[in-house]
Structure 1
Amino acid sequence: MLKDLLRTIKLIFGLAFLVLLIFSCRTTKFVPQDEYLLNKVKVESDTKNIDKQELKSYFRQTPNTSILGFWKFHLALYNLSSQKKKDGWLKRIGEAPVIYDPFLTRRSDEELERYMHNKGYYDAEVTDTVYRKKKKAEVVYRIVANEPYTISRYKVNVLDDSLRTIVRQDSTLSAVHLGENLDMDKLGSERMRMVRTLKDQGYYRMNRNSISYEADTTLGKRQSDVTMLVGEQEIQDSLGNIEYQPHKKFTFRNFYFLTEYEPRKALFSAHLNMDMVPQDTLKVDNYYFIYKKSLRFRPDLLINANHIGDAGYYKVSEVERTYNELSLLRLFKVINIQFEDTGQRDSMGRPMLDCIIQLTPSTKQSYSFSLEGTNSSGNLGVAGNLNYQHRNLFKGGEILDVQLRGATERQSYGVKDSVKFFNTLETGIDTKLTLPKFLAPIRSNRLFQYSTPKTLFNLAYNYQRRPDYTRTIARASFGYQWKSSEFSTHRINLLDFNLVKMFSYDPGFIASIENLYIRSSYTDHSISSFNYIYTYNTQRLQKRTNYKYLRASFETAGNTLYGYSKLANRPQELTDTLAGGQYKFLGTPFAQYFRADLEYRRCWVLDKYNTVVIRGFGGIAVPYGNSKQVPFERKYFTGGANDIRAWPVRALGPGTYKADPNAFPNQTGDIKLEGNIEYRYKMIGMLEGAFFLDVGNIWSLKDNRPGTEFRLDKFYNELAVGTGTGFRFDFSYVIFRLDVGMKLRDPLRPEGSRWIIGNRPYTIDDFNVNFAIGYPF
């Protein structure tokens, strides 16, 4: 069955590529007489100080989009349509040819020249050359930058006495430096930075109109004298007369929480939606909570989430932190923060604002059920999840999540005529309670400036029946999670306890590991660990933008229990001849190890159709003290839909070790290195394509199986290499993925013949089909 599927997939790929490649050669099919298809546009510059990629954004006309760097796939689809029909599905999903337009070329010249002027190249010259051949045109823009104007002197002149001290103290943070180009974009960024600095010091009405620049370029030698002018506030009366007044520092009078804000009704109200319908009000100091019937949230929850006014005056950073805190509560689907000038002044004569926080609550309780097909390396199964969520369990923003999961999968293992089938079964329950506060005997205000940590409790139980063994895992954890910036998230578990019980071993499996060090990984054990995870992620959901992703984790287990056992002089018990004597906790040996992982991803969005993503992963797990081996569930594996896709999951490694092909694939290791690169391109509608290259392997630190141990002078020669192609079906809410992996280099083969191309013909065993949900990384 798998062989037939692979043949069908290869046939479809081959035919699709051949047909579209043939028709893509007729790229000028819809180009009118005496017109030219804009085939290529490029820019040449005599200076390396200008970003050519940035220059391309100023082109007023660009060619049809290509995939794979050369293939105008969407134009080819358009060209497959009939010339007799003005409309058709191929025209709708394809891309019409871009006809060269001389007017837009001249516009591009002007835009490029304007860009160069903004970067300080006031004498830059931009010309274009158009090459026409066989109804195709190529445009080359050439930029002669000439010498730029630079900044020889920079000063700040403060015309508003109330701002002078703050601006002078901030001068060391200026991004404008002497000797740099007279860059208008950089000066504009510096102006906005100064506006934010002053708004963060209480000057609520400060805006960019109060800051301007003067530049004297008559000094000679292409030098300029630049002055930033920080002026007074511009005020216009009812008659249109303009006067200037010193900026005022604003404080706060009252805070209003509209806890049941209705955006639709607010559209018909001139006021901030406080007097639209009969509502009740609860007053706590200068906080007013406006609600209907009953207040859904405890006042202290909203008061603690609000940091506006903490400094005693208006700060834009406190407004942003308050918005973030309210968003992180996950209780509201609409959050608006607005201000009204009260016209009153405090005891020091400073004007006062009222802060109005409009909140639209999310659904309090929700249930969901999902049923999904699973496929692990061609093995079909089904999984179901029943989820329950309660937001605001005790009116303090507590979130309770309960998930019931059940899954079964029909898997096969073995080769040729010895293929065996079996069913795996997994059931479990996972309960999480999230508290929007820092439950600890220390104050968190100074420790956590960006957001208040959440306290997390977790209880879970999982039952797994596999062909080689059956096990249960009971888990309890307690820890915290918080954000230190827009992109940085921290997760720390002070206690992460797992109790693993294993039974119903397959006799063949036990015999296969009888004299191996890894045998101790498959015994009853407990894990009492401390772990920390740091994540830096600039990816924005629902937006196709460049992003970076970094995840670093650290875990150590068993140290406290080992130290206590040593101090208490507790006896060690012999639980396994290879593992030696071990201390026990709750009647089972406890694991002691150290583990660290590092993962990095980078995504480049080349254009609206093309994306490149890279990923690197490295991890190591080291047992010590009470353990000779790291527990099975803390070891690494590779292969499958999200790793080295040319191999089935857990079928690769460790090192050059070749397992019995008739045994269930269950290879694990203590070290993992992996690198991936994937090129993704949009095809038709929801259909996307991809080409990928995967490199990596796993190794053991201590193992008596041949070829499994990591050696610094050999590991690079034991890397597996796989490539392949695939399709993604993007339904917006979920992505279904089909990847076909092909082995290029197999470390399980003898040294010198590990590269398949040039050494032997390909067989069906060199291909692997992966079905999955979501992108691999």
Structure 2
Amino acid sequence: MRGYSGLMCHWAKIVLLSLIVTLLGCNTLKKVGDDELLLTKNTLYADEEKITDSDIKSLIAQKPNSTVLGYPLRLNLYNLAKDNPDSLFQNWLHRKEKREKRLNNLLSKKQVHRLKESFLVSGASEFLKRIGEPPVIIDTTLTNKSLERLEAYYNSKGYFNNSGAYDIVTGKRKKRAQLAYKITLQKPYIIDTVQKNITSPQLDSIYGITTENSLVKAGEQFDLAKFNQERERLTSLFRNSGVYNFQESSISYDILRDTSLVADDQLMDVQLNIQRPRSANDTSVNNNVYRVNRFKKINIYADYLIGGNPDSLQSVDYDNYTIFYNDELKYRPKALTDAVFFEKDSIYRDLDRIRTYRQITNLNTFRYPNIEFIPDSTQTELTSNIYLAPRPKFSLNLNFDVTHSNIQQVGTAFSATVITRNVFGGAETLNVSARGSIGLLSDASLSDETFTSEIGGDVNITFPRIWFPLNTEKVIPYYMLPQSRFLVGTNFQRNIGLDKQTLNTILSYNWSPNTRLKHTVELLNVEFVRNVNPDNFFNVYQNTYRSLDDISDDFQDDPQYASFFEDTNSIVDPLRLTIPEGTTDFTEAVLNNEIPVSAEQRNEVNSVEERRQRLTENNLIFASNYTFSKNSKTDINDLDFFQYRVKLESAGNLLSLMANVVPYNENDNDQLLVFGVPFSQYFKTEFDFIRHWGIGNSSVLAFRSFMGLAVPYGNSESIPFVRSYFAGGSNDNRAWNAYELGPGSTENINDFNEANFKLAFNLEYRFPIAGDVKGALFADAGNIWNVFDSENNPDAIFSGFSSLEDIALGTGLGLRYDFTYFVFRVDTGFKTYNPAREGSDRWFRGYNLRNAVFNVGINYPF
């Protein structure tokens, strides 16, 4: 089997090498005619100044073929396609007199006819054309179109008398040329005065109050973009000042000068026009003018059915709202009215309409609402009808996944969630879920068990408001979409680890002042971790066991320590410490100075024992935290944005304060115990920053930085394993596997390396390759260290700026396939700078495919 795998790998390398040689040897000009020129570059000059603005250059209709690291990959893939595969197949078929007859006898005439439609004959060429890119041939029609676009753009910036030309620049390379666009701008026009013509007195009054905020101002250069922005500003201003039906099309501007004439002053007068509302049926102007509207009545239809008879509905008045319902009102009136931001006798505001839509959706009880506004005969008062269509009371979600990891050969995971809406009549949502998984171990030596298993479940209830004894509405109003969540869950894990049982409880709040900001407060985050099988520690953490067993080798031949060891029937290591009796007895003997070891060996044994105790002790974490996040991304197509997240967490302080009132028991390490378990006490802070730059042609430069620090104090000397940091993996430093990097300059001290201080920096260049296939080049830097805790290994401790030389660097490349809803990615990382090595050996050692780390992930890492 190994020989077969090696043979397949050998052939795969040959095929890959052949493809690379074919692409590199491909003639870029293969499909460029003798009288045609391949466009290689565009340059743009405005008054002899070179323009690099990507938005302006995007106006050019013809762009050179895309490249990957300077190589025209998609063009050469297109060139590999055959132009007439059907004709070539027919020529081959009839090249020999009896070939067609023999194939007909072998396959049948119908199957031979289908051969020309097969992937090998025509399908491969069609596929190459689809993912490839035809050569961009200079087309003067498109070139003139580009000039028209550029002239129109500079017209919009006030250069009304600009003119453009282009040059086709040929070089020494045949059939290739560059295009140089040259725009002569002339003097720009300056706004001299801004006049107004507003037909509605009420709009004129509103406009007059905010004149200083106008984006179109006297003395500034004409800019059409500012005129459009001003129209949007005025539309928003009027709609939020009571004019519910204001139309942006009612706003226009007149330029009171002939801009085709060149003059010395280049000054222009501008007139703002705001006309009457237009009819919905035609373009004629109504006699009515725009007026400010106030709410006369607000109706809420709590269980609206399309086509239903509104006369059969019952109603109830609550706090100046009228709620209509069928048979029985299933919701508390306040839960409905709190989601509506219109108030009786108040003026209409478009902002209140948007907030009402958002909050009703946030209730998670109704489908997207329909809001109707009906004016009265005076056109000054409104009746608002809000139609709410409820979602099903119950729903069921089922999930099933097949997984694979370095621990499991194969695994299956399943979950089921029952969702109950409007549990207590206040639009609360109850989620009851159960989950489980089972998998086959990849290495039977890791455990006595063959399979891993996990089972758990939780109860989660969400309130569409802040659930707190004090009234928080003034501080966190409902338009901020407040939510409270209370969760109780448990999980039992049986695998190669210590078989953990986890109980957790969370009481959290979150709210969003706008679509870009979010606050989250976990007032209560309680987690209890119980290690069911602590005696299995040295079976799991093999590196830790080997370091202890290596020290014991000096004493394995001494008869008085024979009970510590077992016979392995191995020539290399005939005796080893038994688990757990031998490891426990040997450790105790060393730490009690019953076995003569060196000071270095004793420190190593002490470090192993401290780690064993920390990872096998049960943990009680009683924490609170606050997270603030901001995201400037406008939509999924926004390639230029930033986001950051700040988190502060504190654990154990409340329990520590209660010790002054309620006496706690203590263990041998003077730690206070709650229910027989020492509670964790620490302070933790994190900062995460991400920045994306769109650099044209759908390429993106992405950067991320992360810093996290957790400081134990009081009742703890170290951070619980579940709250510590690790380095490596598909979303971190991709040149190392998860938990493999660090801490500091150490290497593989433990099987799962972790620490309480982390720095990480990632830079990734993402670019399109062909169709939905994209590529990436990345550099990942960072590491973890111990600081302010019980660690005594100097190589693992952060001691100042000098420790920054322990920052590891991994570089590599990746492929991504965009499935629209998610991105599947494969990354290959190489250890470029490895702090675990010495001197010059830190750089580029093992920089080859044999030592590369392959990562598979879903969606981008940042």
The normalised TM-score by structure 2 is 0.77
Structure 1's 20 and 185: CA in aligned 2 closer, same or farther, altered over 3 A? farther
Is the deviation greater in 29-38 or in 14-23? 14-23
Alignment of 1:165-180 (within 5 A): 165-176=205-216, 180=220
Query: Matched residues in 2 for 1:378 and 1:504: separation?
Result: 18
SS of aligned partner of 1:752: helix
SS of aligned partner of 2:361: helix
| TM superposition shift of 1:445 | 4.5
Q: Is the 8 A contact 1:376 1:770 kept in 2?
A: no
Q: Is 1:768 aligned to 2:853, yes or no?
A: yes
Q: Which residue of 1 aligns with 2:619?
A: 525
Q: Which residue of 2 aligns with 1:649?
A: 738
| TM superposition shift of 1:342 | 3.4
Q: 1:444 is matched by which residue type in structure 2?
A: E
Q: Is the 8 A contact 1:148 1:222 kept in 2?
A: no
Q: Is the 8 A contact 1:410 1:421 kept in 2?
A: no
Q: Is 1:515 aligned to 2:606, yes or no?
A: yes
Q: Is 1:327 aligned to 2:361, yes or no?
A: yes
Structure 1's 188 and 177: CA in aligned 2 closer, same or farther, altered over 3 A? same
SS of aligned partner of 1:74: helix
SS of aligned partner of 1:233: coil
Deviations 1:371-421 (A, max 9, x none): 33334458544241313141514243222223333345566799xx99999
SS of aligned partner of 2:775: strand
Q: Is the 8 A contact 2:754 2:784 kept in 1?
A: yes
Query: Matched residues in 1 for 2:824 and 2:285: separation?
Result: 61
Q: Which residue of 2 aligns with 1:120?
A: 158
Q: 1:667 is matched by which residue type in structure 2?
A: N
Q: 1:93 is matched by which residue type in structure 2?
A: I
Larger radius of gyration: 2
Give the RMSD, CA atoms, in angstroms: 3.9
SS of aligned partner of 1:188: helix
Q: Is 1:635 aligned to 2:724, yes or no?
A: yes
| TM superposition shift of 1:184 | 1.4
Q: Which residue of 1 aligns with 2:103?
A: none
Q: Is 1:91 aligned to 2:182, yes or no?
A: no
User: Could you tell me the percent identity over the aligned residues?
Assistant: 29
| TM superposition shift of 1:628 | 1.4
Q: 1:742 is matched by which residue type in structure 2?
A: F
Among 163, 168, 182, the alignment partner of 2:203 is 163
Q: Which residue of 2 aligns with 1:268?
A: none
Query: Matched residues in 2 for 1:333 and 1:64: separation?
Result: 47
| TM superposition shift of 1:67 | 3.5
Query: Matched residues in 2 for 1:552 and 1:679: separation?
Result: 25
SS of aligned partner of 1:196: helix
Q: 2:73 is matched by which residue type in structure 1?
A: F
Deviations 1:101-120 (A, max 9, x none): 21121111111111112122
Alignment of 1:46-445 (within 5 A): 46=47, 52-68=53-69, 70-85=70-85, 88-132=126-170, 134-151=174-191, 160-176=200-216, 180-213=220-253, 222=265, 224=267, 229=272, 231=274, 233-234=276-277, 242=285, 246-257=289-300, 280-284=313-317, 287=321, 297-309=331-343, 312-343=346-377, 345=378, 351-376=380-405, 380-394=409-423, 395-408=425-438, 424-440=452-468, 441-445=470-474
Alignment of 1:569-648 (within 5 A): 570=663, 573-576=666-669, 581-606=670-695, 610-648=699-737
Answer 1 or 2: which has greater helix percent.
Answer: 2
Query: Matched residues in 1 for 2:158 and 2:314: separation?
Result: 58
Query: Matched residues in 2 for 1:276 and 1:65: separation?
Result: 61
Query: Matched residues in 2 for 1:599 and 1:431: separation?
Result: 30
Q: Is 1:459 aligned to 2:460, yes or no?
A: no
Answer 1 or 2: which has greater strand percent.
Answer: 1
Q: Which runs of 5+ in 1 are unaligned?
A: 263-272
Query: Matched residues in 1 for 2:15 and 2:349: separation?
Result: 58
Q: Which residue of 1 aligns with 2:28?
A: 27
Q: Is 1:696 aligned to 2:734, yes or no?
A: no
| TM superposition shift of 1:457 | 0.5
Structure 1's 244 and 9: CA in aligned 2 closer, same or farther, altered over 3 A? farther
Q: Is the 8 A contact 1:438 1:455 kept in 2?
A: yes
Q: 2:765 is matched by which residue type in structure 1?
A: Y
Query: Matched residues in 2 for 1:541 and 1:420: separation?
Result: 51
Q: Is the 8 A contact 2:498 2:537 kept in 1?
A: no
The normalised TM-score by structure 1 is 0.85
Structure 1's 648 and 295: CA in aligned 2 closer, same or farther, altered over 3 A? same
Q: Is the 8 A contact 1:602 1:614 kept in 2?
A: yes
Deviations 1:342-368 (A, max 9, x none): 33x5xxxx6222323344444543333
SS of aligned partner of 2:179: strand
Q: 2:81 is matched by which residue type in structure 1?
A: S
Aligned positions, number: 747
Structure 1's 89 and 243: CA in aligned 2 closer, same or farther, altered over 3 A? closer
SS of aligned partner of 2:55: helix
Query: Matched residues in 2 for 1:454 and 1:143: separation?
Result: 56
Q: Is the 8 A contact 1:259 1:358 kept in 2?
A: yes
Q: 1:769 is matched by which residue type in structure 2?
A: F
Structure 1's 315 and 698: CA in aligned 2 closer, same or farther, altered over 3 A? same
Q: Is the 8 A contact 1:323 1:335 kept in 2?
A: yes
Is the deviation greater in 420-429 or in 635-644? 420-429
Query: Matched residues in 2 for 1:610 and 1:339: separation?
Result: 45
Q: Which residue of 2 aligns with 1:41?
A: 42
Q: Which residue of 1 aligns with 2:795?
A: 707
SS of aligned partner of 1:714: helix
| TM superposition shift of 1:17 | 6.2
